[in-house]
């Protein structure tokens, strides 16, 4: 945990952790959705009923509060990664950055301008909104 | 490819995923209730209904290729930063390419077969 560092280190850590988590989910998701046609052994058009049966079984297996919770957290991570990624692309091309200058006390990095900090927090708000929305969809708490 | 061009492609795929992923999330969550979207068929945006539509199935294929590149290139960058070495670097690049390609092949199989199955 980057407690001794600034906001940009949190942004960096979260971006990498969320990226790896989303990639792992992506692998699982491709394997899971392979079941809409009947699974990994199917390489030509299967009987409709077989595909439907395998898909229904897959959905029954995944209908589990743990998976729902995992997907909700993933919603947070995906939204964070997406919007923080936009901020990083902007920063990479020098948009909304401070002008380069000598390091002077209190050594605030030019890469984290006011606008960049604001964007970081907007990203967090959007990610939390995605988390709340996902929890509501899966657990029907607020029924938005 | 030079690292600079790979990183540019990383950003471009990232921005495109915003579009393709936005379409994917919209069809599952916003444009139809989640329970309806998860049905096999018999709902306007159920699983098979999405694969039946050429544009939606195509956007899934695009999303598959974009995420496979973006995700595994990201993994490659992280792994190659953790440890240095010529052989290690080559091994990581190769492994990541193989896994990404395998996923694209398997996912494309799913989309193509599901599209044909849905349109029978």
Within a domain: A144: no
pLDDT at A80: 98
Q: CATH number of B2-118: 1.20.1300.10, 3.30.70.1230, 2.120.10.10, 1.10.1740.10?
A: 1.20.1300.10
Task: Say whether pLDDT at A140 is over 90.
Answer: no
Q: Look at residues A141, A33, A112, A92 and name the one whose alpha carbon lies nearest to residue B63.
A: A33
pLDDT confidence of A7, banded at 50, 70, 90?
confident
Q: Look at residues A36, A27, A24 and name the one whose alpha carbon lies nearest to residue B102.
A: A27
pLDDT at A144: 66
* List of chain B residues whose C-beta atoms are within 8 Å of the C-beta of residue A85: 14
Domain range for A61 is: 7-139
pLDDT at A111: 74
Here the CATH number for the domain that contains residue A85 is: 1.20.1300.10
Residues 66-95 of B with CB under 8 A from A: 67-68, 71-72, 74-75, 78
pLDDT confidence of A103, banded at 50, 70, 90?
confident
pLDDT in tens, B82-115: 999 999 999 999 999 999 999 999 999 999 999 9
pLDDT confidence of A114, banded at 50, 70, 90?
confident
Cis peptide upstream of residue A70 (ω within 30 degrees of 0): no
Q: How far apart are CA A17 and CA A74, in angstroms?
A: 11
pLDDT at A106: 79
Mean of the pLDDT values across residues A108-117? Answer: 80
Residues of chain B with pLDDT under 70: none
Residues of A with CB under 8 A from a CB of B: 16, 19-20, 22-23, 26-27, 30-31, 33-34, 36-37, 40, 42-46, 48, 51-52, 55-56, 59, 78, 82, 85-86, 89, 92, 133, 137-138
Report the residue of chain B nearest A24, measured CA to CA: B71
Domain count, chain A: 1
Q: How far apart are CA A53 and CA A48, in angstroms?
A: 9
Tokens 């392979």 label which residue? A34
pLDDT at B1: 80
Is B74–A33 a contact, with Cβ atoms under 8 angstroms apart?
no
């Amino acid at each position: 945990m980057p407690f001794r560092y600034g906001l940009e280190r949190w942004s960096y850590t979260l971006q990498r952790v969320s990226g790896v988590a989303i990639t792992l989910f992506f692998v699982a998701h491709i394997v899971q959705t392979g079941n809409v046609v009947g699974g990994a052994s199917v390489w030509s058009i299967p009987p409709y009923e077989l595909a439907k049966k395998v898909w229904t079984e897959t959905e029954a297996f995944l209908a589990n509060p743990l998976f729902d919770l995992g997907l909700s957290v993933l919603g947070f991570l995906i939204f964070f990664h997406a919007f923080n990624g936009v901020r990083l692309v902007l920063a990479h091309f020098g948009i909304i950055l401070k002008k380069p200058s000598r390091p002077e006390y209190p050594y605030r990095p030019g890469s984290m301008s006011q606008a960049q900090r604001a964007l970081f927090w907007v990203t967090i708000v959007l990610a939390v909104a995605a988390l709340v929305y996902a929890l509501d969809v899966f657990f029907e708490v607020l029924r938005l | 490819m030079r690292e600079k061009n790979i990183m540019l492609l990383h950003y471009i795929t990232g921005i495109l995923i915003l579009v393709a992923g936005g379409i994917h999330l919209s069809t599952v969550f916003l444009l139809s209730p989640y329970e309806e979207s998860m049905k096999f068929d018999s709902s306007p945006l159920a699983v098979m209904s999405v694969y039946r539509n050429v544009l939606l199935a195509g956007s899934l294929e695009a999303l598959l290729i974009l995420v496979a590149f973006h995700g595994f290139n990201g993994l490659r960058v992280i792994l190659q930063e953790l440890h240095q070495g010529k052989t290690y670097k080559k091994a990581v690049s190769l492994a990541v390419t193989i896994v990404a390609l395998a996923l694209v092949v398997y996912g494309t199989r799913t989309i193509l077969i599901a599209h044909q199955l849905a349109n029978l």
